[in-house]
Amino acid sequence: MSQKTVQLLIGRIVTDEELRLRFVRQPLETLTALREQGFELTASEIEALVETDRQLWNSAAARIHPSLQRCSLCP
């Protein structure tokens, strides 16, 4: 695993509304699914992301310009 993968994943969580909503509701399950899709995450990285204050993700997303965000089309 590399720092680049963690940075890429954090960027996706902040800019992809559907992923962020899923991650905030079920962080461990979401990260496990992403690892199965090819994201190289160690157990300690998953633990650190799961333990991060969940309010951070929505707070960070609210500060990003809307044109840089991917909005969910699901109700």
Q: pLDDT tens for residues 18-73? A: 999 999 999 999 999 999 999 999 999 999 999 999 999 999 999 998 888 877 65
Domain count, the chain: 1
**3-state DSSP percent of the chain in helix, strand and coil, to 5:** 70, 5, 30
Q: Are 57 and 13 in contact (CB under 8 A)?
A: yes
User: Quick check: is 70 in a domain?
Assistant: no
Alpha-carbon distance of 47 to 52, in angstroms, equals 9
Specify if 15 maps to a domain.
yes
Q: What is the pLDDT of residue 67?
A: 85
> Does 75 have pLDDT greater than 80?
no
Instruction: Give yes or no for residue 74 having a pLDDT over 80.
Output: no
User: Do the domain assignments include residue 74?
Assistant: no
* pTM metric for this prediction: 0.84
**Token representation of residue 13:** 């969580």
Question: Hunting for tokens 């809307």 — which residue is that?
Answer: 66
Name, in order, each residue with C-beta under 8 angstroms of 62's C-beta and a sequence gap of 6 or more. Answer: none
Nearest to 34 by CA among 15, 12, 54, 55: 12
Confidence band, pLDDT 50/70/90 cuts, at residue 2:
confident
